[in-house]
Structure 1
Amino acid sequence: MKVTSCAVLALSISSLTAMAHAEEFIPTGLKSDSSAQSETKGFFEEQTLSGTTRNWYANELKRHGGRFTYNDNGVQKSTPRRINWVQGTILDYSSGFTQGTVGFKTQVAAYNAIALDRDANDIAGVNNRTLTRNDGDAVGQWSKLGLANLQARISNTTLTVGRQNFSSPTIDVIGNRALPSSFQGVGLHSEEFNNLSFDAGSFDRVSPRTEQSLSKFRSEYSATGVETDRASVGGVNYQPFKNLKTSLYATHVEDFWNQYYFGAVHDWGDNAVLGLNTNLNYYKTVDTGSKAMGDINNDTFSLAMGLTHQAHTVTFSYQQVIGDEYFDYLHETNGIYLANSLLSDFNGPNEKSFQVAYVINMAQYGIPGLKFNAYHARGWDINGTKYKGDAYDVRSMDDETHSEYSIGTSYAIQSGPLKATAIRATYTTHRASKNQSDGDINEFRLVTTIPFNIL
């Protein structure tokens, strides 16, 4: 890691530590109150049947000669515009835990998708955001078991086996489409201590957002499409002070990489006057096993500082990749907690990026649930010319740059039969130099999510 990068990280950690030292230290101890398992009411007594339905629309337009290419009944075509419109519905049944020292429960969730736009010329691709057949035509309606698992709990520790949701900085459910992803394997979550929790998981398949079948894991930025049979993660979340939370995780992706993560979030001040939120994320990635992704030695970090005064928040974020390859993560996961992961991830080889974001919360002005936001991000110094492997297509990147602008609004209904219904609209533009991979594109998204309870 370069000296300047070390200095930024050292300054970030020392600043967080200095602010934390002004607060009262929280000693670690076992939770003294009743455990979650001792308070369970029973398998049927706490069962729920609930879900969500999401209307997801996206309209993309490539600019300056960019084209989407696709197969329309055996004929290769191209178009500058791509439209996806899908209705995704989740019906989720969860039992309660049985009573006793060891409690057991089950969870089953059916996922269903309906393609509201089925024109191959609009979809313009295979399984990108709308499930398609090989000829490029949309699958009009499809369903699958998104979740199907058994859980066992002792005290405040739960073991989950089967298809499940799981959240960590490297393997995390991604829910930015009509339906979310999920993972097949074993997961463990423990909260036996007052300020210390543990997570662990090992998974052999992922259930993609826009596919019916399970898939092996592959990386988001691989140029070769190699796959792996297993991804495992373990980590700890520790809160040493009231306003400081830290996380430390290690992940092993078989024959791909070992990835290590450290994160820290600190809140200071009073948002009614002036509050400061500081968020540090750091990833270290190195190759392992048969090196199916080639040689990897990558350090990537982001530092975000958000200032809040009443309804207004302004955030400044710096991010840097130190390595001749992408900062990479697993496809169909949200395993990238970096501050500048936006429409573009700003994760090119040796890339530096900076973002300024603004959010106004209209609750302060009598309209609770309504927010407006805008951001501008810029990346520079993207250089993959020294990359010697073949897993990533980066050698043509020589001092590339790109920028991204976005405006958006969201509203969450506060009461009544549609309470918690969320509506979000965003318009984003991305512009890039010749060999930056994301290209020139405009995108409009409109997403409406309605939760419901049956039981």
Structure 2
Amino acid sequence: MKLSSKALLALAISSITATAYADTQSQDFVPTTLAGTSAQSEAKGFIDGQSLGGTTRNWFSSEKKFRGQRFTYEKHGQARTDANRTNWVQGTILNYSSGFTQGTVGVATEVAAYNAVVLDRSKRDIKGGSNRTLADSDGDAVGQWSKLGLANVKFRVSNTTLTAGRQNFSSGIVDTIGNRALPSSFEGVSFNSEEFSNLSFQGGIFDRVSPRTEQSLSKFRSEYGNGQETDKVKTLGFNYQPFKSLKTSVFAANVEDFWNQYYFGATHELGDAQTLALTTGLNYYKTTDTGSKKMGNIDNDTYSLSLGLTHQAHSLTFSYQEVNGDEYFDYLHETNGIYLANSLTSDFNSPNEKSFQVAYAINMAEYGVPGLKFNVYSARGWGIDGTHYNGTAYGEAGASRSDLRLMDGEKHQEYGVGTSYAIQSGPLKATTIRGTYVTHRASAQQADGNIKEFRLVTTIPFNIL
């Protein structure tokens, strides 16, 4: 990884700040030992350990394109355009989890039914739905639909669990994404091993994804590519905490005939938030083509470096991100496999792009209102250059606004403000209400365009058993 001069400067600032304030966050080394207890030895049994509950989420989004840009939809067989798009969906998850049977090898199961009710069914409003509202081939909203979001069997020995079937999985490369009314999930086999005190291992082989806004399973494809599909995703990695103040994560993945991708992440904490705490974060991805190269030639190094300062209720974060490669930093669609600091409404991941973000947040618990938070941020990306791209995965020359070869010195900027509140007690305890407003402005060939969006999301958890 080649760090730019700005990234090196941020690291230097981090070092200087570390020496300027008292080291109240322990920097002690954490020895690796066997886990003190066995989760399987404490199994309650298939029935005694069962639970039934879930969440219901009201998800509303209102978008508006500007500077002459428009959404396209069909009405009476004719293409029409409009600057506005609205999506409003109620998503509900009913999740049943059994306990593990007792004995050396425990067996359990997890089943979750997902249901969506579309509250705004106007064809003109939803504009074909995309990954927000499920629509049929004519662009009409599917008013109500359900599916099995999770359906798996688990086997556990000591602190190691093998899961087979439709499931959630979380790593820096393959990660369930839950930013719509319903989340995604993956079909395959995975394991999670926590046999050591500060070291855990994860891995999985997946061949299908259950998308956020689709009823059926789909093959994996890339977020930014031209629709090419892959039959298999394999991933393996570990999480390691060598010091009380330092957490690291290393993962690798093979996406068949797409790419090999490697991820390293580290977070270091220093100081005391009552005076001044410093959090430094590094995320790095290396991506290279493999197999039949359905996504073309890829040789991409992308990283982000963040520096966060916290004083009591207030936090201020600076994040620098850089893409080194003539193609997008790409990741799997219907996953959250992008842990970069500047992945916002825009991912700031275009070829050779550099970006910088400043974010401020305040936690009102310090002022007597626990659960209430506010945040604001500004991010800017520049230096986008795709003129040296020689593949076909991201559009033919002149075919679309997102064709990389048309991007020469493109730039863009994003502003956002948000507030959230989590109810602290009573029958609606843990219910969260989140409102955000984002504006994104872009030069002519930057792919994300000019758009404003307001979202209001209310999530209510519930327990039955």
TM band (smaller chain): over 0.9
* Corresponding residue number in structure 1 for 2:399: none
1:321-400 aligned within 5 A: 321-392=323-394, 393-400=403-410
Runs of 4+ in 1 over 6 A off after TM superposition: 18-22
In the alignment, which of 30, 36, 44 is matched to residue 26 of structure 1?
A: 30
Matched, 1:407 2:417: yes
Tell me the amino acid that sits aligned with residue 427 of structure 1. Answer: Y
Q: 2:4, 2:166 → 1: CA distance?
A: 43
Tell me the amino acid that sits aligned with residue 441 of structure 1. Answer: I
* Corresponding residue number in structure 2 for 1:419: 429
- Flag the 1:111–1:286 CA change in 2: closer, same or farther, 3 A: same
Matched, 1:272 2:274: yes
The alpha-carbon deviation at position 71 of structure 1 amounts to 2.1
Tell me the amino acid that sits aligned with residue 8 of structure 2. Answer: V
The alpha-carbon deviation at position 125 of structure 1 amounts to 2.0
The alpha-carbon deviation at position 205 of structure 1 amounts to 0.2
In the alignment, which of 124, 139, 142 is matched to residue 139 of structure 1?
A: 142
* Corresponding residue number in structure 2 for 1:434: 444
Where 2:141 maps in the other structure, the secondary structure is coil
Contact 1:60 1:441 in 2 (8 A): yes
Where 2:4 maps in the other structure, the secondary structure is helix
- Flag the 1:301–1:3 CA change in 2: closer, same or farther, 3 A: closer
The alpha-carbon deviation at position 76 of structure 1 amounts to 1.2
How many residue pairs align between the two structures? 452
Q: Deviations over 1:406-435 (max 9, x none)?
A: 011000000110000000000000000010
* Corresponding residue number in structure 2 for 1:61: 64
- Flag the 1:271–1:10 CA change in 2: closer, same or farther, 3 A: closer
Contact 2:26 2:245 in 1 (8 A): no
In the alignment, which of 276, 281, 284 is matched to residue 283 of structure 2?
A: 281
Tell me the amino acid that sits aligned with residue 70 of structure 2. Answer: R
Where 1:333 maps in the other structure, the secondary structure is coil
The alpha-carbon deviation at position 266 of structure 1 amounts to 0.7
* Corresponding residue number in structure 2 for 1:4: 4
Identity of aligned residues (%): 70
Q: 1:14, 1:441 → 2: CA distance?
A: 35
Contact 1:58 1:85 in 2 (8 A): yes
* Corresponding residue number in structure 2 for 1:153: 156
In the alignment, which of 255, 258, 266 is matched to residue 256 of structure 1?
A: 258
Given the two structures, how large is their TM-score scaled by the length of structure 1?
0.96
Where 1:330 maps in the other structure, the secondary structure is coil
Tell me the amino acid that sits aligned with residue 393 of structure 2. Answer: A
Where 1:38 maps in the other structure, the secondary structure is helix
Contact 2:128 2:140 in 1 (8 A): no
- Flag the 1:344–1:10 CA change in 2: closer, same or farther, 3 A: closer
* Corresponding residue number in structure 2 for 1:112: 115
Q: 2:70, 2:438 → 1: CA distance?
A: 18
Structure 2 gap ranges (5+): 395-402
Contact 2:377 2:415 in 1 (8 A): yes
Where 2:139 maps in the other structure, the secondary structure is coil
In the alignment, which of 144, 155, 180 is matched to residue 183 of structure 2?
A: 180
Q: 1:235, 1:145 → 2: CA distance?
A: 28
The alpha-carbon deviation at position 75 of structure 1 amounts to 2.2
Q: 1:282, 1:13 → 2: CA distance?
A: 20
The alpha-carbon deviation at position 127 of structure 1 amounts to 3.5
Q: 2:130, 2:141 → 1: CA distance?
A: 9
Q: 1:31, 1:217 → 2: CA distance?
A: 36
CA RMSD of the aligned region, Å?
A: 1.9
- Flag the 1:398–1:154 CA change in 2: closer, same or farther, 3 A: same
* Corresponding residue number in structure 1 for 2:125: 122
Q: Deviations over 1:193-212 (max 9, x none)?
A: 00000000110000000000
Matched, 1:96 2:96: no
- Flag the 1:424–1:6 CA change in 2: closer, same or farther, 3 A: closer
Structure 1 gap ranges (5+): none
The alpha-carbon deviation at position 14 of structure 1 amounts to 9.9
In the alignment, which of 192, 197, 202 is matched to residue 194 of structure 1?
A: 197
* Corresponding residue number in structure 2 for 1:220: 223
Tell me the amino acid that sits aligned with residue 421 of structure 1. Answer: T
* Corresponding residue number in structure 2 for 1:301: 303
Tell me the amino acid that sits aligned with residue 444 of structure 2. Answer: K
Tell me the amino acid that sits aligned with residue 319 of structure 2. Answer: S
Given the two structures, how large is their TM-score scaled by the length of structure 2?
0.94
The alpha-carbon deviation at position 74 of structure 1 amounts to 2.2
- Flag the 1:448–1:404 CA change in 2: closer, same or farther, 3 A: same
The alpha-carbon deviation at position 4 of structure 1 amounts to 2.9
* Corresponding residue number in structure 2 for 1:452: 462
